[in-house]
């Protein structure tokens, strides 16, 4: 197997999981840094907004490494999709397609249902609830919880932080509740 095929094929959990987990001690050892993505937006705003907003008045340059990390994720995703992108049609699991068919969600572009995530669907009640209200709730919840799932579930749990355990349990419970109780109601709109 050549290197490109090895890199582009899915890695098993017992390889990918420990590699992701090793970022925690690596960040702590290299500079006493914590892993998380949601704080990057605050750093960007602190660097761009005037200094008279108290929430953005802090030394954001001390956390500039995080901005480079997020830029690496963004450009790495672009480069990865260009080099390793699948030219063929991505097949959606037939059971998922059958589950979504009663909600008139049948048009898939790759793995993204176009009936939900397109400019046309944005201006429907279902689209506004899913994309605008959902985006607001995710952003608000992330700040209210003091971090995102990557920060709490990867960094916080590995540091044995009690608030991160509570946040992770709440993230999971909220996700299960949303997917099984609220989402079917929204999709039926």
> What would the mean pLDDT of 33-56 be, rounded to a whole number?
81
Q: What is the pLDDT of residues 120-140, one digit of tens each?
A: 888 889 889 988 999 898 888
| Lowest mean pLDDT across 6-15, 38-47, 79-88, 132-141 | 79-88
The whole-number pLDDT of residue 4 equals: 73
Q: How confident is the model at residue 166 (pLDDT cuts 50, 70, 90)?
A: very high
> Which residues share a beta bridge with 109?
112
pLDDT of residue 26: 86
Percentage above 90 pLDDT, the chain? 16
Domain edges within the chain: 116-189
Query: What is the rounded average pLDDT of the residues 159-182?
Result: 92
Q: What token pair was written down for 181?
A: 């109780």
**pLDDT one-digit tens code per residue, 93-111:** 889 889 888 988 888 776 7
Residue 11 has pLDDT above 60, yes or no: yes
Residues 51-92 pLDDT 10s:
788 888 888 888 888 888 889 989 988 888 787 776 666 678
pLDDT at 1: 57
- For residue 178, the model assigns a pLDDT of 92
Question: What pLDDT, on the 0 to 100 scale, is given for residue 90?
Answer: 67
| Long-range contacts (CB closer than 8 Å, 24 or more residues apart) made by 2-7 | 4/83, 4/84, 7/84
Confidence of residue 182 (pLDDT cuts 50, 70, 90): very high
The DSSP line for 45-108 is HHHHS-TT-GGG-S-GGGGHHHHHHHHHHHHHHHHHHHHH---SPPPPPHHHHHHHGGGT---E
């Amino acid at each position: 197997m050549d290197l490109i095929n090895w890199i582009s094929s899915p890695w098993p959990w017992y390889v990918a999981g420990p590699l992701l987990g090793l970022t925690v001690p690596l960040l702590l050892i290299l500079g006493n840094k914590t892993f998380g993505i949601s704080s990057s937006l605050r750093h960007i705003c602190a660097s761009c907004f005037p200094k008279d907003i108290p929430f953005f008045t802090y030394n954001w340059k001390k956390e500039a490494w995080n901005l480079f990390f997020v830029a690496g994720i963004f450009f790495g995703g672009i480069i990865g999709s260009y080099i390793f992108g699948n030219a063929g049609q991505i097949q959606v699991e037939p059971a998922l397609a059958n589950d979504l068919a009663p909600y008139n969600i049948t048009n898939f572009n790759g793995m993204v249902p176009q009936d939900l995530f397109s400019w046309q669907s944005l201006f429907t009640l279902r689209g506004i609830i899913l994309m605008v209200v959902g985006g607001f709730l995710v952003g608000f919840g992330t700040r209210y919880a003091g971090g995102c799932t990557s920060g709490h579930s990867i960094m916080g749990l590995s540091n044995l932080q009690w608030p991160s355990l509570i946040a992770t349990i709440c993230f999971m419970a909220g996700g299960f509740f949303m997917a099984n109780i609220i989402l079917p109601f929204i999709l039926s709109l």
